[in-house]
Structure 1
Amino acid sequence: MRFTGMTLAAAVLAAGAAYAETAPDDVQFGEYGAVEASLTGQEGDPEKGREIFSTKSMGNCVSCHAVSVLEDVPFQGEVGPVLDGIGEYRTTEELRGIVANAKMTFEGTVMPAFYKTSGFIRPGDGYTGKAAEPPIEPILAAQDIEDLVAFLTTLKDE
């Protein structure tokens, strides 16, 4: 019995360690832009996602979107839709796809693709006026996407 328990524990650890992060170019988008599979195999942390959403040097989501529960975050945006209640009408998979690359769901959107590294027309190097040198890194890491999605799913109408 002890051997079986140890074997099971080792198998669980190995399965967790075997899950590889999905690279930006390997993300599989559904017909309407949803991404079914987690990018990391790890659950997102809503508190970290809140920080990413509300910190301009991270996700910078708050520059375009407003969320009324973030009363402590000043100067919320008006460019994109207000995201109050988005956890009610969008699935985790839809939100993951929109954050990873919103253009897969909304073709003409100005929202940046937060998890994309190729297919750009003219990528720039910050605000230098120069072309970016490869490799181009995504705006957010895979776990950042999962954390941000976890936060967005908490936004439900009360």
Structure 2
Amino acid sequence: MSVARLNIPQLRARIVNAAHFNSQTIMPAYFQTTHLNRVTSKFAGQTILTGQEIEDVIAFLATLNNENLK
């Protein structure tokens, strides 16, 4: 079975704000500070991941291939 793979910019866009592609997603926007739901005041105005952390996740995901997923 063939699995469609996202390229690096597509991965980044989905991690930053998955709701841009699917308004019904439950995946949080990891690099967004506005238009969020149920954020406690302690975390208001903060992103879940830093820009560097997002790049680290993307670098890891880019190393995966179908052999790693079996």
Query: Fold conserved (TM > 0.5)?
Result: yes
Q: Does 1:112 align with 2:24?
A: no
- Please give the alpha-carbon distance, in whole angstroms, between the structure 2 residues aligned to 1:134 and 1:101: 17
Larger radius of gyration: 1
Q: What does residue range 93-132 of structure 1 map to in structure 2 within 5 Å? A: 93-124=9-40, 132=41
Structure 1 residue 109: deviation in Å? 0.5
Q: Which runs of 5+ in 1 are unaligned?
A: 1-85, 125-131
| Aligned residue number for residue 150 of structure 1 | 59
2:41 pairs with 1:141: no
Distance in structure 2 (CA, Å) of the matches to 1:152 and 1:99: 11
Q: What's the % identity of the aligned pairs?
A: 34
Provide the TM-score with structure 1 as the length reference. 0.37
Give CA deviations for 1:16-52 in whole Å, capped at 9, x if unaligned.
xxxxxxxxxxxxxxxxxxxxxxxxxxxxxxxxxxxxx
Residues 110 and 121 (structure 1 numbering): CA distance in 2 closer, same or farther, change over 3 Å?
A: closer
C-alpha separation in 1, matches of 2:56 and 2:38: 29
Aligned length: 65
Query: CA offset at residue 123 of structure 1?
Result: 2.1
| RMSD over equivalenced CA pairs, Å | 2.0
Alignment of 1:5-154 (within 5 A): 89-124=5-40, 132=41, 136-154=45-63
Give the deviation of 1:112 after TM superposition: 0.7
Structure 2 alignment gaps of length 5 or more: none
TM-score by length of 2: 0.78
Q: Secondary structure at 1:89's aligned position in 2? A: coil
Q: Could you list the per-position Cα deviations for residues 66-85 of structure 1 after superposition, in whole angstroms to 9, with x for gaps in the alignment?
A: xxxxxxxxxxxxxxxxxxxx
Query: Cα distance, 1:119 vs. partner?
Result: 1.5
Measure the CA separation in 2 of the matches of 1:123 and 1:94.
26
In the TM superposition, residue 122 of structure 1 has moved relative to its aligned partner by 4.1
